[in-house]
């Protein structure tokens, strides 16, 4: 890592409350693929709130945390989110691995 000083500048664009994406990864029984539970967090006060939510919901699972690059409305479960992502924490356990990803559906969704 390299840290370089910079002069302060006023940003052209600023999101006071960006949307965050959290992927929880769980491997039921190796060598099966990883199961994915994905969430979008909106109306977030700050990153501390996001970290607390992850700790309360991780249940020992691996996770990835992203911030979304564009504001995109929250849609029903079956509608994929298309915003670009910036990774803040974690890693994809499937990186470099040709495996099948399964999604856990919320109760009542088939």
Cβ proximity of 38 and 68 under 8 Å: no
* pLDDT at site 41: 96
- Side by side, which strands form the sheet with 62-68? 85-90, 62-68, 20-26, 35-41, 102-103
* Alpha-carbon dihedral sign for residues 79, 26, 45, 9: negative
More confident residue, 30 or 92: 92
* pLDDT at site 106: 62
Question: How far are the Cα atoms of 14, 39, 69 from residue 5, in angstroms, in the given order?
Answer: 21, 35, 25
If you count DSSP H runs as helices and E runs as strands, how many of each does the chain have, helices first?
1, 5
* pLDDT at site 97: 61
Give the pLDDT mean for 57-78: 92
**pLDDT tens, 82-107?**
999 999 999 988 886 665 555 666 66
């Amino acid at each position: 890592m390299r840290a370089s000083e910079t002069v302060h500048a006023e940003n052209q664009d600023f999101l006071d409350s960006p949307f965050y994406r959290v992927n929880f990864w769980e491997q039921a029984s190796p060598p099966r693929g990883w199961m994915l539970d994905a969430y979008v967090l909106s109306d977030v006060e700050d990153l501390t709130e996001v970290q607390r939510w992850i700790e309360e919901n991780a249940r020992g699972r691996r996770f990835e945390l992203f911030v979304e690059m564009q504001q995109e409305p929250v849609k029903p479960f079956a509608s994929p989110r298309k915003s670009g992502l910036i990774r803040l924490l974690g890693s994809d356990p499937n990186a470099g691995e040709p495996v099948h990803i399964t999604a856990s559906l919320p109760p009542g969704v088939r």
